[in-house]
Amino acid sequence: MRTLGKVYLIGAGPGAQDLMTLRGARLLAAADVVLHDALVTEDMLALCPQAKKIAVGKRCGQRSTAQHFINKQLIDCAHKYALVVRLKGGDPMLFGRADEELSALEAAGIDVEVVPGITTALAAAAASKQPLTKRGVARSVAFFTSATAPEEAASSGVPDSDTLVQYMGGREAIATAQALLAQGRSPALPVIVLENVSRPEQRELRMCLADLARGLDAAHGPVLVMIGESLRARPQQQSSATQHAPQRRHA
């Protein structure tokens, strides 16, 4: 009877190849097959030229591979290959539906290991040089998303936290800003919108909560929105940074 292979759920990080962990890169270089997300870059896949590559990406609002089919592919691959990699954008354990894949693999008796990655929020804070916490200003951070699967009910709740980081921001972030204003949050609350974090085409927009509530310009890549007083530009940043006036687009 053939021995089952081992599956690794690996975080690819926010996008830049050199922001992946050394452990993740080492496993990619040894992988027999790699099942990868849509947001995983070609540079990242260049780390595993020897591996068979299977695209199983999910993009919000676009046709994507059903999760139950991804689970089946992982199990099938573990029956054929010794080292199977499931390569996920960011960190596998945050908005990555890892629980479903782990549950399916464990139920099938397949050995699985998780290799963490840098989640986009932390890369965004580094790119903008704005800490998500700040002594005397912000001591809590919430990562959240309003995006849901078709079978799930949408949630309009906004977490109660000093700093908010909304993944898959886009139109959903406009609704978040409107909800925060309705709750009495200051219209001048700082907001940073980042598109394609850590990639060469990265774009950063700084605005206030009132600006965000009125709309955002069209994006061509994944968008992350950070909201909170800890994101207020320091004096040196205010004097040197170029401020962007977003083109308005309503939800």
- Residues that are catalytic: 37, 58, 168
Cα 39–chain centre separation: 9
Pairing of strands 6-11, 83-88: parallel
**Three-state secondary structure call for residue 140:** coil
Classify 95 in phi/psi space as left (phi over 0), alpha (psi -120 to 50) or beta.
left
Q: Are 190 and 172 in contact (CB under 8 A)?
A: no
> What is the number of other CB atoms lying within 10 angstroms of the CB of residue 67?
15
The one-letter amino acid code at 96 reads: G
Residue 9 structure tokens: 């759920």
Nearest CA to 4 out of 58, 56, 79, 64 is that of: 79
Question: How many angstroms separate the CA atoms of 24 and 38, rounded?
Answer: 18
